[in-house]
Chain A
Amino acid sequence: MLKTIKHFWHILRQLTGDDAYEVYLKHHVEFHQATVDAPPALSRKAFFKLWQEGKWKGIKRCC
């Protein structure tokens, strides 16, 4: 039961983008850690700003 609730919560967070920053951090660690002069990860606030602006550049809503 607890597992189902956790799974649902996880999906809900993914759906809404609530976990976008964690996903980004994970990606950052996986892909940029190894590089010598990797840029430091963005702060939560700075990431969210970029993420939100990027999201609304194209056609995102329909009729």
Chain B
Amino acid sequence: MHKNFKIIIWAAVLALGVSAVSAIALNRGESISAMWFIAAAACVYAIAYRFYAAWIAASVLVVDATRATPAERLEDGRDFIPTNKWVVFGHHFAAIAGPGPLIGPTLAAQFGYLPGTLWILIGAVLGGAVQDMVTLFFSTRRNARSLGQMARDEIGPIGGAAALIGTFLIMIILIAVLGLVVVNAMKHSPWAASTVATTIPIAMLVGFYMRNFRPGRVLEATTLGVMLLLLAVVGGGWIDHQPTLRGWFDHDGLSLAWMIIAYGFAAAVMPVWLLLAPRDYLSTFVKLGTVILLAIAIIILQPQVHMPALTQFVDGTGPIFGGKLFPFVFITIACGAISGFHALIASGTTPKLLANERDIRMIGYGAMLLESFVAIMAMIAATVLEPGVFFAINSPAGVVGKEAVDAIAKINSWGFAVTVEQMNQLANDMGETSLFARTGGAPSLAVGMASIFGNAFGKGMLAIWYHFAIMFEAIFILTTLDAGTRVGRFMLQDMLGNIWPKIGQTSWMPSVIFTSGLVVAGWGYFLYIGVIDPNGGVNILWPLFGIANQMLAAIALCVATGILVKSDKLNFAWITGLPLVWLIIVTSTAAWQKIFSEDIRVGFFAAANDLSTKLAAGVLSPDKAAVAPQLIFNQQLDAYLTMFFVAVLWVVIIDMLYVTYKYLAGESRLPLTEVANEPSRLVENLVRD
């Protein structure tokens, strides 16, 4: 293409991007078209990918297309396989994009649409995508070693241990909060509960098909499974209308929590082919399909965003979770902007498939941009709702009151119009008895998605769309739950195996049951507390998860910054150093506030003390007094856990600073562990393609 023509195109993209971002940022009208969000995101991503990511790949990392990757050098036909870049992209994206980017933005919408949207865009292009890309690159240059191994090799044993323990604890908190989200979506909803329950035998059927009936025919089995899933959504509606059947699936939160705990244990002990693997196929297909459908629907419908740019809750008084805009918007939206968990996929798993270093930009940076776009769509789906409706669905009963009338009065007093009739009508349209206090983000996202799908593809099926959206979220939340419990079990077996080698044998059944039991008990405890907490539990667990996830991101960025300095690229170390400094500020401030704040909706100790005082004074209602001792203990535990996270983070930072200081002072302690250059044999073939 002619050079001038390219310049004109990019100037146009820049101009459109600037006007879209300004339109979003400066709009103070009643509503704004969601197309501005899509345009802003597309332009920001295009410019960042074309210029920033390309510059990092070419000038900082210096990717070498002629160098053999681990997939080529260590090819074994099973784990290490040089693979087409689109296929690797698909695997990588399916692995990194879980429920996180859907839930975080929905919760953060309490501050208004603007803070979350800006953080998703800026955080992704300068933080998250850079983290994923450099981690992928460094792991590729180190025989696809995991983040923990790289931390140990390049920074020291403390960094390695910190990454390991950090990962394990995040897994526990993440599973608990995801379990809570599913429970809140199924609570007293026979339709949702029966649909989600049916996904279990469907997955098993698909598992049998792939294992015994037609071994390895993944596509056939998955197609069958997806059709059955759609039937299950419709079937759930039928069950909902059968007076006896519906009673079987009508449960309160606590019973559902116990069921999830029992299910989680069973899924972790069962062989992978029976439940985990087939469920993962189904969830990946449904997830990709729904995300594409949502993008098409938003573009066709061009819905209006009704949430204001900023709400009064930036002062920290928000109903969904307590805490000011800074730092809590940056903690609440982790996945979608920057997520430490991605570094675990980008190291270890993805490099084993990478055919050429040249693909690192597209896979590492590009997949994260796509995930960020999913987060933008979740933000749109949450903010197209009338703000009053959004707050009615997402505010816990402990904040707005148990009765519909009280909740509506409270929400109206904040200046958001909504009526009891409106909420009843909405619940009726969605095929639910009530939508009040369905915290956790999934139900409000489902209402938003149902209204977008309903408007774009026909309004008659709102209830079906709603339950489809619930099924879509539940199925991959349950996949994360199964897979996470399993990984937690392996990690625990590995750690305990150092003390008692027998327990480290991953197939020894007593060890499997014992360690799975411990992992399930860990997240089950937090899930149980979350369910009995009248404030909904999400307000405690989600920030804890955010802090933990950002801590892991900071560890990954520490490793990357350390390697950059040790590779004599001090001048470029800011590409990971800058997001690292920002994360350190955000995580440390948030942790400080969660531990020491006097505000009982923010500080863990303040909340525990407040509850103890009230309990001692006898001013609590009997049902609240009954659970108070457990809640007090939990708040204190959460405070110590937060302290532990921050301590781990700072230990790794100091370790990294020490290693880089030593290097710069000329006393290299830990040499780079990059594998020697070996020319690729595949390059010629690739060029010919």
User: Residues of A with Cβ closer than 8 Å to B?
Assistant: 11-18, 20-21, 23-24, 26-28, 31, 44-45, 47-63
Cα–Cα distance between A31 and B86 once the two chains are bound (Å): 25
User: Can you list 17 A-B contacts (CB < 8 A)?
Assistant: A17-B218, A18-B219, A31-B75, A44-B215, A45-B211, A49-B273, A56-B486, A57-B506, A58-B487, A59-B345, A59-B483, A59-B487, A60-B487, A61-B479, A62-B335, A62-B344, A62-B345
B99 close to chain A: CB less than 8 A: yes
CA distance A11 to B88 in the complex (A): 10
Interface residues on B, range: 35 or more
Contact for B77 among A23, A60, A61, CB less than 8 A: A23
Task: List, in ascending order, chain B residues with CB within 8 A of A47's CB.
Answer: 216
Interface assignment of B277: CB less than 8 Å from any CB of chain A:
yes
In the bound complex, residues from chain B placing their C-beta under 8 Å from that of A44 are: 215-216
Nearest A-chain residue to B81, judged by Cβ = A23
- Measured between beta carbons, the chain B residues less than 8 angstroms from A63 are 98-100, 174, 178, 334-335, 339, 341, 480, 545, 549
Alpha-carbon distance A50/B211, docked complex (angstroms)? 11
Contact between B77 and A31, CB atoms less than 8 A apart: yes
Contact with A along B482-495 (1 / 0, CB 8 A): 01101100100000
Among B96, B216, B341, B342, contact of A48 (Cβ-Cβ < 8 Å): B216
Cβ–Cβ contact A48 & B215, under 8 A: yes
Given contacts A27-B76, A59-B487, contact A45 B280 (CB under 8 A): no
Cα–Cα distance between A11 and B689 once the two chains are bound (Å): 14
Contact residues in A for B273 (Cβ distance below 8 Å): 49, 52-53
* Closest beta carbon of chain B to A41's beta carbon, Å: 10
Question: For residue A51, which residue of chain B has the nearest CB?
Answer: B78
Q: Does B656 contact A (CB under 8 A)?
A: no
Most buried by B among A15, A45, A48: A15
Assess A16 versus B344: contact at CB under 8 Å? Given A49-B273, A50-B78, A61-B98.
Answer: no
A20 contact from B216, B272, B342, Cβ within 8 A: B216
| Chain B contact surface mostly | helix
Annotate B320-363 by CB proximity to A: 1 below 8 A, 0 otherwise: 00000000000000110001011011001100000000000000
Contacts of A27 in B (CB 8 A): 75-77, 81
Q: Which of B100, B167, B216, B334 has most chain A Cβ within 10 Å?
A: B216
Contact B77 A24 (CB under 8 A): yes
Q: How far is the CA of A18 from the CA of B223 in the complex (A)?
A: 12
Measured CB to CB, the closest approach of chain B to A33, in angstroms, equals 13
Kindly report which residue of chain B lies nearest to residue A15, judged by CB atoms.
B90
Q: From A12, A52, A53, name the one whose CB has the most chain B CB atoms within 10 angstroms.
A: A52
Q: A15-B90, A60-B349, A62-B96 are in contact. Are A24 and B78 (CB under 8 A)?
A: yes
Residue in chain B with minimal CB distance to A20: B216
Q: Is B295 close to A, CB under 8 A?
A: no
User: Are A15 and B91 in contact, with the CB atoms below 8 A?
Assistant: yes
Q: How far is the CA of A60 from the CA of B487 in the complex (A)?
A: 9
Looking at B217, B218, B281, B341, the one whose CB has the most chain A CB atoms below 10 A away is: B218
Q: Determine whether the beta carbon of A55 is less than 8 Å from that of B339.
A: no
Q: How far is the CA of A62 from the CA of B146 in the complex (A)?
A: 15
B629 nearest CB across to chain A (Å): 31
Q: Knowing A15-B87, A62-B95, A63-B341, say if A57 contacts B75 (CB, 8 Å).
A: no
In whole angstroms, how far apart are the Cα atoms of A45 and B75 in the complex? 22
Residue of A nearest to B217 (CB): A18
Residues of A within 8 A of B210 (CB): 48
Q: Given contacts A15-B90, A23-B77, A27-B77, is CB(A62)–CB(B339) below 8 Å?
A: yes
Cβ-defined contact, A16 with B100, below 8 A: no
In the complex, what distance in Å separates the CA atom of A23 from the CA atom of B277? 20
Given contacts A27-B77, A62-B341, A63-B100, 12 further A-B contacts (CB under 8 A): A14-B83, A14-B84, A16-B222, A18-B218, A20-B216, A31-B75, A48-B211, A56-B486, A58-B490, A61-B484, A63-B339, A63-B341
